[in-house]
Structures are given as C-alpha cells and as structure tokens.
Amino acid sequence: MKVELCIEGVNDIVRDELKETVKILKLDLKNVKNRSGISIFHVDRDEDIAEIKRHIEAFNIVLKYYGG
C-alpha cells in the first residue's frame, strides 16, 4: 500500500514531534536540576544541564523553520 502525504501534512508531523521532544527535554532539564532524574548527556550535572539547554535551543530553531 502506498501512502502519499502532502508537504503540509509532513510539516505538521515533524512540528508535532519536535514540540514533543522539546517538552520531554524540558522535563529532563527540570528533573536533572532537582536531582530527581538521571543524567541524559553527561555524568557531570552542570555539563548535563548545559547540554540539555543546548539541545532545547537547537530544537527550537528547527521548530521555527517548521512554523512552530
């Protein structure tokens, strides 16, 4: 079965996934800051917080491209 999607549909899917990823990263950031979560990128807490923030910023830049 072949499924064809219009570009707007693809953009909607990508935008929704990016938003969800940012939401999860923000929750991870909150948990790492509160010491209630596990490290995501680095064992060092401060490095981990900085890296999560960089990822959030990067995803937000891509999200802007998709109109989010």
Is the residue at 53 inside a domain? yes
pLDDT tens string for the chain (68 positions)?
A: 998 889 888 889 999 999 999 999 999 999 999 999 889 999 999 999 999 999 999 999 999 988 87
pLDDT value, residue 59: 96
- Domain with 45, as residue range(s), is 13-65
Is the residue at 3 inside a domain? no
DSSP string spanning 1-68?
------HHHHHHHHHHHHHHHHHHHHHHHHHHHTT-S--SS-SSHHHHHHHHHHHHHHHHHHHHHTT-
pLDDT value, residue 36: 93
Is the residue at 49 inside a domain? yes
Is the residue at 40 inside a domain? yes
pLDDT value, residue 32: 96
The tally of domains found in the chain comes to: 1
Is the residue at 8 inside a domain? no
Q: Taking the model in full, what pTM does it have?
A: 0.84
CA–CA distance, 5 with 12 (Å, rounded to integer): 11
